[in-house]
Amino acid sequence: MKKKLLTLLFSLNLLFGVCKPNPTQLLTDIFSLDYSAMLPLKIAGATILPGPIPDSIDTPHTPICICPAPPPIMLRIGIPVGFYNPDRMVDSVKDPYCFEGLGISITPINIKGAGVQADDPQSGVHSFFQTHLVSFPVFQVLDLMIDFICLQSPTGVDILYLTEIDPMWNSDSLSALIQPEALLFGNPITNLACMADSIASQIYMPIDALFWCKGSWGNAYPMTGSVTSGDLIQSSASAAASLLYKLHRQLILWGQWGYEGLCFRYPLPIWQKSAYRLQLIAPIPFIKAITIGQTGMLWDSAKNPPFAGDNFSYIIFRKRDCCAF
């Protein structure tokens, strides 16, 4: 009887679990967003509004900031402002070309499961996710505070990156072209240091110096869609974090915090984990944002119901320091 029930559930998942369009998903994204994850709000380095997640990246402690400006002004004077901006989204999906966070799909039904690799007997449960980086400037979508320079975005809602067409994402060997240090950090010895990062991540304080660690999510190397975890939803978050690191390495994502980030964005090939917060937004939103490496036991319960499909989406909050005027 039990075997028949499992067979029935598996068959139903094949029929109904495929990524399907959801015209209300963008509304879900906006109304389910954890706006408190934008905090703390800091002005001139002083905390004006505290937040539930501590900020280990200090906004510059200076009363004014000076940035270059086009002629004839040449210079503009402002005040340093720091917060976490929800302006990106990352999909981690089993169904290729499924844009779970946007509620759209271009996935033919005959490639269901194309994003899944076989289990790896050497390292436990082995999953593979395709990921997408999507521009999703929440306040621009809502047409709120668009005159505030720190929230201005050069693009609206847009698809910025697809791993389905990136051969390095699908191959651990090819990915070594952009991450030769993986030989140094992707081994059991350096993994021991990740225990400290795992503990710190549970209290929202990932250790940036341990850049090769993703807390409870495992090693950050290789930067591919292959992740090892017994928890499917946690694995999807791990794949999303791998994409963020990979895009930093490829100089697609840049730093925008600290003194250097007040006036300009700057290249940052080694990521800074504490500059990012993630919130599960689909298929079932979690009410709070998390930091990279936080164990799924704290946030992923009942977030992958039957027939929803193994496709997930995360709103990304990025640290933003800017010179506001």
Lowest mean pLDDT, pick from 21-25, 163-167, 214-218, 240-244? 21-25
pLDDT at 101: 93
Residue 143 lies in a domain: no
Q: Is the pLDDT of residue 147 over 70?
A: no
Which of 24-28, 55-59, 90-94 holds the top average pLDDT? 90-94
Quote the number of domains for the chain: 1
Q: Is the pLDDT of residue 15 over 60?
A: no
Most confidently modeled range among 50-59, 246-255, 307-316: 246-255
- Averaged pLDDT for residues 3-20: 45
Is position 293 within any domain? yes
Residue 79 lies in a domain: no
Domain ranges, residue 250? 2-29+86-132+162-318
- Residue 173 placed within a domain: yes
d(CA 75, CA 67): 6
Cα 296 from Cα 104, distance rounded (Å): 26
pLDDT of residue 79: 94
What is the pLDDT averaged over residues 163-184? 90
User: Is residue 64 assigned to a domain?
Assistant: no
**Tokens representing 182?**
């993986």
Q: Give domain status of residue 324, yes or no.
A: no
137 found inside a domain = no
Q: What is the mean pLDDT of residues 33-41?
A: 95
SS3 of 50-66: the string is CCCCCCCCCCCCCCCEE
pLDDT tens per residue, range 195-241: 999 999 999 999 999 999 999 998 999 899 998 777 889 999 999 99
> What residue has token string 């946007």?
102
Q: Mean pLDDT throughout 119-135?
A: 71
User: Taking every pair of C-alpha atoms in the chain, what is the biggest distance, in angstroms?
Assistant: 80
| Residue 48 near residue 41, CB atoms below 8 Å | yes
For CA atoms 243, 244, 248, 249, the dihedral sign is negative
Say what the pLDDT of residue 7 is.
Answer: 39
125 pLDDT more than 60: no
Instruction: Give pLDDT, residue 314.
Output: 97
What average pLDDT score do residues 97-124 get? 61
Q: What is the pLDDT of residues 61-79, one digit of tens each?
A: 999 999 998 888 789 899 9
**Which tokens go with 14?**
């094949």
Which pLDDT belongs to residue 113? Answer: 42
Mean pLDDT for all residues in the chain? 85
Q: Identify the residue with better confidence: 306 or 217.
A: 217
Residue 310 phi/psi, 5-degree rounding, is -90, 55
Q: Do residues 70 and 82 lie in contact, with contact meaning Cβ atoms separated by under 8 Å?
A: no
Residue 70, in any domain of the structure: no
